[in-house]
Structure 1
Amino acid sequence: MKTSLKWINDYLNNSINLDADAVADLAEKIERTSVEIADSTTLAQQQDGLVVAKVMSVTSHPDSDHMVIAQVDIGESKLTQVVTGAPNIAEGQFVILAKVGAHIINHETGELIELKPAELRGKVSNGMLVALQEIGFDSKISPKDFEAGIYVFGENENVQPGDDALTVLGMDEPVLDTDLTPNRADMLSMIGTAYELGAMLNQAVTLPDFDLVEYESPAKNQVSLFIDDDDLVSKYAVRVINHVTVEDSPLWLQKRLWNAGMRPINNIVDITNYMMLMYGQPLHAFDLDKLHDNEIHVRRAEVDEKLVTLDGQKRDLRPGEDIVIATTDGPLMLAGVMGGLESEVDESTQNIVIESAVFNPSLIRSTARRHNIHSEASARFERGVNWDATYVALDHAASLVDELAKGQVARERIVAANIERKEVSLTITATRVNQILGTTLTLKEIAGFFDQLNFQYTLDSEKIEVILPARRADMSIEADVVEEIARLYGYDNLPVTLPYGPTTPGKLTRQQRQIRASRKILESLGLNQAISYVLTTPEKSQQFAENVTAKVVTLNYPMSSDRTTARQNLLAGLLEDVAYNVNHFVHNIALYEQGRVFVANEDNELPTEIEHIAGVLTGDDVTSSWQNQKAARAVDFYDIKGIVSAYLDQIGTTNIKYVATNRHVNMHPGQTADIYVGDVYIGFAGQIHPKLTQSQKMAPVFGFELNLFTIMNEAKSDVQYDKISRFPQVSRDAALLVNENIENAKIESVIRQSAGNKLVDVTLFDVYTGDNLPSGKRSLAYTLTYQDNDDTLVEAEVNADFENVITALVNELDVQVR
């Protein structure tokens, strides 16, 4: 928030030194004690040579149809001649002249330029009459558009020729741009900031005073209020002011607004914004004569309602969720966010209604995000406004309308909602404060900090009971109060001590170790880590999910239409990564991802989060080149299966089974297998269905997705290293004639179950099908490798074991030994 120190001085008895060095010291103190300072500057910056000039005469330029020659008085003995093309120049005006030698900011480039005498169509111009945009004003805060011409002072501004224009316009006032954290809603107001600076400077705060004069006409006879839902608003009141004159605000008010980063509009709107900046309480003014039936309803939006807001945007309101201020004819504004164009205060307005409220902050935040409107009002309502300032700001605004717009304030404030705030008090002891901060403060010293903060309290010999003010919505517990004491005591003054008490060494949990090990294993197997979006479309969220009929987890307020739903699988994101790489001419791809998937639960319960790990392969496994004479080979099912097998082996699982399946609709029905640890299902591996890959012109893609939580439950607690045997291996080969429907995995299972404890490896080294075999048969050749870690194997022992294997194969699978 942009904070004018000159304005703050009104509440701190001018105790802030506005010299540049003093301001820099104050900014540094604020950063150490309170909040960060994003910038410290003035609107003037390095500009100089700008003076108030009175236009004495205006004559046409003899050689131009759009320029004129003006003689202006700048308080010197002779008039100054200026040639200008300003469309709004007229005799008697007080304007701004950049004299010869002045330094002004180029509004197009932002550079500082020095003015020199210029000859325009044969006539000398000794300076330049300027618009505010030409001397550093952003178009967002300038009260008039640049095309309207030069800036003209109002008739009652009491400026004189030769006055320093930078001072008159308030451009030399130092402004601190505070970078507020969400909890410091109190510093979104000048008075709240004054309390903060007053605490740091040990200076009392003087609140603004005003006189409110009410006229005889009762407000309740002119407008009626209705709260349709008590959950929408805690406090709601209005003031009616009649016979107002809508015009430009006086310069003092405009200065305060543009130094705070706001654009002056007219005196009515400016007063509401001025009160918002002063008290942190947003107000809104309606044109009373534009209210249908003179009724105001605070309610939720209804079906098919629309509203054109002040920015000219037509907005579709969400029924049952958006809070609106409405008449019997329809909505007038998005409550607490932005006003509507239909009830806007303009030059023809004669009677107005000003509202002040405390709206439900959660609903305001939802409405602002839903419509992408982040206004000054919504920022304050979202964080919490000062409960005690609701009616004060309203009455102060009414008194200013009386003063600046010649309005007549109708008798009595109309209140529709007024829930009392529960007073919050805490008991603090010196022992507790010193225990937390490591200090030796006394109760009297702690009470002194509460005096600086302007907190009410009662003190006895053992404790302090402090009442937390409504303006500090960020404070509710003991820790908040102790932090305030620490801030004012000075963080730099807190003693430095070593931690004491029992300590425990930090370490990763077994689950964390296994997750990290999973990433390392897959990277060692040649895969690169990918990180995909957790949010995706509803279709992609279930593309490879186990239960495609399950309810999805959808966000209420997504950032974009293609990121609305929490994923239920990782493969869909990896497939997007493959498509991206292929489109950028990368064809050999090996990726993996480890992350959470989200499964919806009933009603409004939070979704279940499950850790998954997935990977994809596509392209060639080996690239052929003159250095590598081996022919290129495209990856296939066995490559992805080999990666999964190696990973599961290294992570500590045993008894892995692969079962052919066609139940995954987005996987190839003939090249996909479900994976089990024993009888526990852990995931699947296979080829992505060609209907998905061919549509994006991708080569065959193979992938896997595993439930990491299940794997970690089934894995051994520790994977131990077994020493390599020093003794020789003995191998036996077996050629078997088997039925075509018997899988290799089944044969290997029988071999391992019937072999003794010396069998260390089973390798299928040949598969043969041909005309020389009986129908429905195929020949499989295996090598069985035996080894003893402690002794040399003897032939008799190996032969006996091998015979047991052959016997089991014949009996259980009806194989024939060739």
Structure 2
Amino acid sequence: MLVSTKWLSEYVNTQGLNPKDLGEKITRSGIEVDAVIDRSQGMTNVVVGYVKEKVKHPEADKLNICQVDVGDEITQIICGAPNVDAGQKVIVARPGAVLPGGIKIKKAKLRGEISNGMICSLQELGIEGRLVSKAYAEGIYVLPETAVPGESALPLLGLDDIVLELGLTPNRSDALSMLGVAYEVGAILSEDMKYPEASYTESIEKAEDYIKLRVDAIEENPLYIAKVVKNVQVKESPLWLQNRLMAAGVRPHNNVVDITNYVLMEYGQPLHAFDYDRLATKEIVVRLANEEEKIVTLDDQERTLKSNHLVITNGKEPVALAGVMGGANSEVHDGTTTVVIESAYFTASSVRQSSKDHNLRSDASARYEKGVDPNRVVLAAERAASLLAELAGGEVLAGSVVVDKLDKSPAEVIVSPDFINSRLGMKISLEDMTSILTRLKFDFQVANGYLYIKAPTRRQDIKIPEDIVEEIARMYGYDEIPMTLPVEESKPGGLTSYQAKRRQVRGFMEGAGLYQAITYSLTSKEMAQKFALESAPVTELLMPMSEERSTLRQSLIPHLLEAVTYNTARQADTVALYEIGSVFLGETESGLPQEQEHLAGVIAGKWVEHSWQGEKKSVDFFVLKGIVGGLMDLLGHTADLTFERTVVEGMHPGRTASIQLAGVEIGIIGQLHPAEQKARDLKETYVFELNLVKVLTKEVETLYYAPVSKFPSITRDIALVVEREKAAGELQAIIQQSGGKLLKAVHLFDLYEGEKMEPGKKSIAFSLTYFDPERTLTDEEVVNAHNKVLKALAEQAGAELRG
């Protein structure tokens, strides 16, 4: 909402108050002032000029040489505007003038002729083109005959004004009008406000003899008023009216349309003017539209109506989309002589439906959607009739044609001062509260320790006691509310253990070189369960936007693979992504999907590339396994972490493992199946996914530190010949279990499958470290422990020492 401070001063006394200070007071009272706009924009030396003579420039067809009276002299100015002519009063920027944007005007020579300044358009004075009347959109602006040459043009154009831009919240629709803002400012400054006068001489003819009215949709339109004004002269609005509309962000058209827009901005009540003769039937019928009915609105768009759209008709065809926009078939034009003024109360839901369905928003619909004051409907109609009589020479017919079924009673709120103070945590006296309510123009009584308040109908947001608490607080001053600490013992805010660990996970993954990705929770039904860690019923949307986004995912991997495909298709040689997100598994007892947080990662391409050293290393299974292992080490789960070969659909059968924590499966890791890689147009790609909830909620044993021992360790290497299908992890587990307390570490360091091995066999080599922190081991102790290991390997795994 744009509020002209000069216009505002007509309703409430703001004299002696700087507009910036006024804006600050309004902001502190609860309505934020987004900007304080100086319409002059620092302009100087811009005056009224009178064009005494105009001749064509001898060297340029599109330029004119004008002799312009600027008060103290007649000066020559070259002008290229197509509408400049002798006898006009125009806006002149004299040499030395400063225009918006810091543009300085100097004497100049154009095609050999001197130009002492510039004849200006409104756009050159900083007024937006969308606000300039169509008559002057392509040329200079012509001032009225009463303008005096030599005087400053800024006051004449309303550019000596400061405009406040209000950032209104949806509940404060009362401030979508000058009178609403005046009420607010009056309450802030403890000043009374005054309504504009609406007086005129009625004709002896009656409006009801000219127009008939019927409302068939009372629920959507409980109040409708029609006034008739004859002998109207449609012409350009006076300059003061145009200036106020432009300051409010509204484009002037003609005096009839401008008056309806002016009253809209003044009262917050939308109006519409119909050409009486174009109504043809001399009847207005308000009804719901017929299905597939057509109307051409004022923007020359044909619109197809639905049965829930409210329309104004002449009894035969629609002439307006109620509360949104008028129809072209009843538009006021230059030949209009009789006008029907519509002032009505349309329900917010009805207007919102029409506006939404037609993607059509207007100043009128914005106000109807938020709720208008039912007690201003009549006042606005009378104000418009008065202005039509004054500015268009109209003859207002006696009375109005009215259908009124609207309840205009105010909302009643009962609240105690103690309730207000307890909610605010402070002590405001009853006297201060009643003073604030008086300033706000709220009707109230004090009885039995309670405030009985009747909220004015202009304040549609006042419904419950908490609304009164807010009014008292904001007018008393939010700055006056004392700062206090909670009485009860409280703990400072912080992350939960789970949140802190999740933050560690993010830091580790990014430190390992993976970028975080955020993908859709919705996928196709075919992809929903692919790579899922556990099987559960899927959750499908009732009305999906598309089949590709119809089902909640049960794995993060598919969407990460889509991201890899997207990036590699754009010449990204290496892609490393991770995501922490939710998967959805079946339903809970409440009927909602069971949401579970997972961690997934995907890497493809080169992992190491040092071109200067000629070193390159492609991603492989062990790179990703190392990342997972490092993460588990950070979280304190290394001792419980194991990898076991498994088969997962869509993944390589020989390069896929399940990730287990203390014997419980928590995820999968491996390479995509070659067929899957080909289908996605990928090279070797490795993925993993973990149930993050199981990982982060698992308790970690207390960490103990021991001093470095002064006693040496003894290392023994063994090469074992085993069946090719025997897993190295199984052998390592046997060694750890049978090695006793002296065996401190087991490390796999070699795998051989070659010509010298028997068919179906392989050689696996381990390094075993024996150590006692309290003494030096003897060879006999190490040999005994080592023999136990070899015996267990032979008995449990059929392993033989390689000769």
Scaled to the shorter chain, the TM-score interval is 0.7 to 0.9
Q: CA deviation at 1:203?
A: 0.5
Aligned to 1:532: 518
Q: CA deviation at 1:57?
A: 5.9
Q: Structure 2: which amino acid aligns with 1:25?
A: D
Q: What is the 5 A alignment of 1:250-649?
A: 250-284=238-272, 289=278, 295-298=285-288, 325=311, 345-347=332-334, 354=342, 356-360=344-348, 364=352, 375-377=362-364, 379-381=366-368, 383-386=370-373, 388-390=375-377, 392-394=379-381, 396-397=383-384, 400-401=387-388, 404-405=391-392, 406=394, 412-413=400-401, 415=403, 418=406, 423-429=411-417, 431=418, 433-434=420-421, 440-460=427-447, 462-476=449-463, 478-495=465-482, 500-524=487-511, 526-532=512-518, 546=532, 550-551=538-539, 570-571=556-557, 587-596=573-582, 609-624=595-610, 631-649=615-633
Give secondary structure in 1 for the equivalent of 2:625.
helix
2:40 is the alignment partner of 1:40: no
Tell me, in whole angstroms, the C-alpha distance in 1 between the residues paired with 2:267 and 2:376.
7
Q: Which residue of 1 aligns with 2:104?
A: 113
Measure the CA separation in 1 of the matches of 2:516 and 2:20: 47
Match of 2:10 in 1: 10
Out of 80, 84, 87, the residue aligned to residue 82 of structure 2 is 87
C-alpha distance in 2, partners of 1:722/1:540?
51
Determine the structure 1 residue equivalent to 2:174.
186
Deviation at 1:682, TM superposition (A): 3.2
Q: Secondary structure, in 3 states, of the residue corresponding to 1:780?
A: strand
3-state SS of 1:140 partner: helix
- The one-letter amino acid of 1:264's match is P
Q: Is the 8 A contact 2:343 2:377 kept in 1?
A: no
Q: Which range is displaced more, 96-105 or 345-354?
A: 345-354
Residues in 1 aligned to 2:82 and 2:796: alpha-carbon distance in whole angstroms: 104
Is residue 355–residue 365 contact of structure 2 (8 Å, CA) maintained in 1? no
Match of 1:131 in 2: 121
2:752 corresponds to 1:764: no
* 1:195 corresponds to: 183
CA–CA distance in 2 between the matches of 1:265 and 1:690? 70
One-letter amino acid matched to 2:699: K
1:152 partnered with 2:173: no
Secondary structure at 2:130's aligned position in 1? coil
Structure-2 separation of matches of 1:566 and 1:330: 48
Instruction: Give the match for residue 720 of structure 1.
Output: 703
Tell me if the contact between 1:387 and 1:421 (Cα under 8 Å) persists in the aligned partners: no
Summarize the Cα distance change of 1:314–1:736 in structure 2 as closer, same or farther, 3 Å threshold. farther
Q: Report the AA paired with residue 277 of structure 1.
A: M
Unaligned 5+ runs, structure 1: none
With over 3 angstroms needed to count, the CA separation of the structure-2 counterparts of 1:221 and 1:184, relative to structure 1, is: closer
Q: Which among 98, 119, 129 is matched to residue 92 of structure 2?
A: 98
Q: Rate the CA distance shift 1:784–1:59 in 2: closer, same or farther, 3 A.
A: closer
- Of the structure 1 ranges 371-380 and 616-625, higher mean CA displacement relative to structure 2 is found in 371-380
1:448 CA displacement = 1.1
Structure-2 change in CA distance of 1:570 and 1:390 (3 Å): farther
2:413–2:465 CA contact under 8 A, matched in 1 = no
Aligned mates of 1:191, 1:377 — CA distance in 2? 16
User: Residue in 2 aligned with 1:651?
Assistant: 635
Give the match for residue 25 of structure 1: 21
**TM-score where L is the length of structure 1:** 0.79
Matched-pair contact (CA < 8 Å) for 1:724–1:789: no
Structure 2 Cα separation of the partners of residues 554 and 683 of structure 1: 31
1:254: how far off?
A: 1.2
The answer to whether the 8 A contact 1:652-1:719 is kept is no
CA shift in 2, pair 1:186/1:801, >3 Å: farther
In the TM superposition, 1:161-240 aligns within 5 A as 161=149, 163-211=151-199, 216-218=206-208, 222=212, 224-227=214-217, 233=220, 237=224, 239=226
Distance 2:750 2:296 in 1: 77
Is the 1:219–1:239 contact (alpha carbons within 8 Å) kept by the matching residues of 2? no
In 2, are the aligned partners of 1:105 and 1:113 still within 8 Å (CA)? yes
Using the alignment, how far apart are the partners of 2:794 and 2:302 within structure 1?
80
Distance 2:253 2:526 in 1: 49
SS at match of 2:749: strand
Question: Cα deviation per residue 1:536-557 (whole Å; 9 max; x = unaligned)?
Answer: 8869995967389945669999
The count of residues paired between Structure 1 and Structure 2 equals 790
Q: How far does residue 636 in structure 1 lie from its aligned partner after superposition?
A: 0.3
Letter of the 1:112 partner, please give it. I
677-686 vs 171-180, greater mean Cα deviation: 677-686
Q: CA RMSD in A?
A: 5.0
Taking structure 2 as the reference length, what is the TM-score of the superposition?
0.80
Q: Secondary structure at 2:129's aligned position in 1?
A: coil
1:262-308 CA distance string (max 9 Å, x none): 21123343333323322334445566747999654456x968x9987
Which blocks of at least 5 consecutive residues in structure 2 are unaligned?
Answer: none
CA distance in 2, matches of 1:775, 1:135: 94
- Confirm or deny: 8 A CA contact 1:620 1:632 kept in the other structure: yes
Taking structure 1 as reference, are residues 58 and 522 closer, same or farther at Cα in structure 2, changes over 3 Å only? closer
How far apart are 1:45 and its partner, in Å?
2.9
The Cα shift of 1:312 comes to: 6.3
Pair 135,815 (structure 1): closer, same or farther in 2 beyond 3 Å: same
Per-residue Cα deviation, 1:637-672 (whole angstroms, up to 9, x for no partner)? 12112211332343244644545555454x556544
Give the deviation of 1:485 after TM superposition.
3.2
Mapped contact 1:674–1:685 kept (Cα < 8 A): yes
**Aligned positions of 1:796-811 closer than 5 A:** none
CA drift at 1:445:
2.0
CA contact (8 A) 1:592 1:616 kept: yes
2:551 and 2:343 mapped to 1: Cα distance? 39
Deviates more, 1:746-755 or 1:273-282: 746-755
Aligned residues of 2:510 and 2:516 also touching (Cα < 8 A) = no
Q: How far, CA to CA, are the matches of 2:351 and 2:771 in structure 1?
A: 72
Aligned-residue offset at 1:6: 1.4
Deviation of the 1:252 alpha carbon: 2.6
Q: Is the CA contact 1:308–1:314 (under 8 Å) kept in the aligned structure 2?
A: yes
Report the residue type matching 1:716 in the other structure: E
Deviation of residue 184 (structure 1)?
A: 3.6
In 1, the alpha carbon distance for the partners of 2:622 and 2:280 equals 75
